Amino acid sequence: MPYQAAVIKATRARRRRLSRLVIGSSVRGRTAPAMGDRMPVDRNITLYHSPNSRSSGVLTLLKELDAPFELRVVNMKAGEQRQAAYLAINPMGKVPAIKHGRAIITEQVAIYLYLADLFPEAGLAPVLTDPLRGPYLRWLVFYAASFEPAIVDRALKRDPAPATMCPYGDYDTVLKTLVDQLAKGPYMLGERFSAADVLWASVTSGTQH
Ligand SMILES: N[C@@H](CCC(=O)N[C@@H](CS)C(=O)NCC(=O)O)C(=O)O
């Protein structure tokens, strides 16, 4: 089954499981399990979002996590991402960004990691003691550190730096690494669906751009 179809199937099955859990439990509850005394107890998230951008994947993730959230739409066509109000949120003038309590988190991968850990009951983040935790971090970070710069090289038809100087190598190697990993199972972690799939599916389905 192609990767995209496998992710959609897993997402639907998870939604069904979650909606059964919601009845009579606190999956939708706004109170976090014990997570340290400095983490806000309130798990309401504000997502700064522009449709058809990298924030669309974060929106999908919030739904997957059944997280309580509020959307603040940033109108990129009107240039709101470069106006002072939004630059105070992300000085890079980019979406996505989220706010949780007083914490502002930017950079997609940081946001995926943060949210999947904040809603552990959704089971989208292998815990620290899980042997899949390392691979999970690997495939999320690989996206930002290797895939994105390689894709930009390809889109601009420019050569990367010489292989020994270039932190991500080159487009062909990056793509082969990804394809070889996906050949091992339906998801990035083999048989286990995780937040990494929500990120990679948003890229491969083209909903980001
Ligand atoms: N490194 C950032 C990249 C975010 C990014 O490139 N966002 C694009 C939307 S897909 C953006 O906000 N572009 C607005 C602009 O630069 O004017 C991340 O991973 O979150």
Residue whose tokens read 């109170």: 31
Same domain, 86 and 185: no
The CB of 137 under 6 Å from ligand 1? The reply is: no
Q: Which amino acid is at 130?
A: D
pLDDT band at 41 (very low <50, low <70, confident <90, very high): confident
Chain CA centroid to CA 67, Å: 14
- For CA atoms 84, 90, 168, 165, the dihedral sign is positive
Q: Which amino acid is at 199?
A: L
Last residue of a domain, one of 122, 153, 182: 122
Q: Which of 47, 48, 54, 207 to mutate to test the pocket of ligand 1 (most atoms within 8 A of CB)?
A: 54
Q: Which amino acid is at 45?
A: I
Q: What is the mean pLDDT of the chain?
A: 89
Is there a domain that residue 128 lies in? no
Total domains present in the chain: 2
Same domain, 54 and 94: yes
83: CATH = 3.40.30.10
Last residue of a domain, one of 71, 90, 122: 122
Backbone angles phi, psi at 51, to 5 degrees: -55, 150
Compute the distance from residue 54 Cα to the ligand 1 centre, in Å: 7
Compute the distance from residue 82 Cα to the ligand 1 centre, in Å: 12
Same domain, 63 and 17: yes
The predicted-structure confidence for 66-104, as pLDDT tens digits, reads as follows 999 999 999 999 999 999 999 999 999 999 999 999 999
What's residue 24's pLDDT?
Answer: 34
Name which residue sits closest to atom 8 of ligand 1, judged by CA: 94
Is there a domain that residue 127 lies in? no
The predicted-structure confidence for 167-193, as pLDDT tens digits, reads as follows 998 999 999 999 999 999 999 999 999
pTM: 0.87
Is there a domain that residue 209 lies in? no
Question: For residues 123 and 126, what is the distance between their CA atoms, to the nearest angstrom?
Answer: 7
Q: Does residue 27 have a pLDDT over 50?
A: no
Question: For residue 196, with 0-12 CB atoms within 10 Å meaning exposed, 13-18 middle and 19 or more buried, which class applies?
Answer: buried
Same domain, 81 and 147: no
Is there a domain that residue 118 lies in? yes
Same domain, 58 and 154: no
The CB of 107 under 6 Å from ligand 1? The reply is: yes
Compute the distance from residue 92 Cα to the ligand 1 centre, in Å: 8
The boundaries of the domain holding residue 44 are 3-122
Same domain, 116 and 140: no
The reply to whether omega before 96 is within 30° of 0 (cis) is: yes
The predicted-structure confidence for 97-123, as pLDDT tens digits, reads as follows 999 999 999 999 999 999 999 999 999
Is there a domain that residue 43 lies in? yes
Name which residue sits closest to atom 14 of ligand 1, judged by CA: 94
Same domain, 89 and 148: no
Chain CA centroid to CA 8, Å: 15
Compute the distance from residue 44 Cα to the ligand 1 centre, in Å: 23
